[in-house]
Structure 1
Amino acid sequence: MPSWSVHKTIYRKLCSEVLGFIIWTPGLLDKIDKIIDMEYGEHDLGKKPDVDSFRRMLRALWLEFGDIYDTLTGKLLNADYFDKLRLEQEALWNFKLQQRYMLYIPDDVLVLVTLHHILDTATYCLLNMYPPITIDKSVLIFECAKQLLHHYVDKLKEFKTMRNSTFDQVFNWLIDVLKGKSREVYIILTKYLRSKRLE
């Protein structure tokens, strides 16, 4: 919902808190925003309650940023886009390949996608909650986002980070980080909404 430049501004505010998870690869934010909002034919890819949207999001992230983990050798294959497509097709008909290979999506990619969805949902809450949320109660926009994204969080539970924490734990950590910066984020979002005459 907020523009990608607003996302970027907020990501920079969170930079020190999320440094352990996010590597600020040049162009990564722009690419993720495009994937989630336009490149795969669906706006807010992965955020909708249906499982298929979430699967399409994971596949898109895997094809663009991920790799294939070989459980026999314990190594990533360094597969390019076309290698992934080829192995994906082969694994459809070969149970042994399905058992041997696992999909790998970098932690920072899933964290940035999750932040994207949280910020969009928080902006929706800011626009639609009644009575309106004031700056003194700005943490409520993230409480609201947490509630509205419960289906997304449920799907994240099956994924683990390289540090062995589950991604629903990462989601809750992100919500807490955002609550700590809620006044600053509130100001950025309300300024953006005012500029669009949406407040």
Structure 2
Amino acid sequence: MDQDLSKSLITGLCENDTKSQELLYRQFYSYGMSVCLRYTSSREEAVEVLHDSFMKVFTKIHQYDPNQVFKRWFRRILINTAINHFKRQHKHYKTEKLDSAFHVKGNEEDAVAQLNYQEMIQVIQQLSPVYRTVFNLFVIEGYGHEEIAEKLGISEGASKSNLSRARAKLRELLTRNHEKGLAKYER
């Protein structure tokens, strides 16, 4: 049995009990929001994805296996909802082909490691939706390019290209932010 959900809470959710739904919402709001913020460009958009995710949880709770960790099941719903939101919002967004991509070498993970969580979210949110989604799925969630391509309906090459460009853009944004920070202290 998952320790983060009691048997009575699961029963209440299965019976569409509003108090159980509210309890679950309060218990997992912060966690869900932290995941959604990485996939969206604004707090408002993240809240929309989060609310859609909770609605899916409430309607599909009977599919949840209480012997599994609820957080993992919920995370999968959050990510899939964010991807579906991305697809709806950016149906006509063109992804670029691998042969036109430039490859950037470097270690952006070091720069990202120096940021606090809030700064990292703000920088990631500045990426275009397709770059942000591919970056999150590959770097943070650990998906492979084949899985990303399947989830987003793009080619594997486009996934690789978008990841490369996302990293280059992050490096540019981090450098710009770092230079602004230094300039502030040099005055």
TM-score (structure 1 length as normaliser): 0.30
Which structure: greater strand fraction? 1
Give 1 or 2 for the bigger CA radius of gyration: 2
TM-score (structure 2 length as normaliser): 0.31
Which structure: greater helix fraction? 2
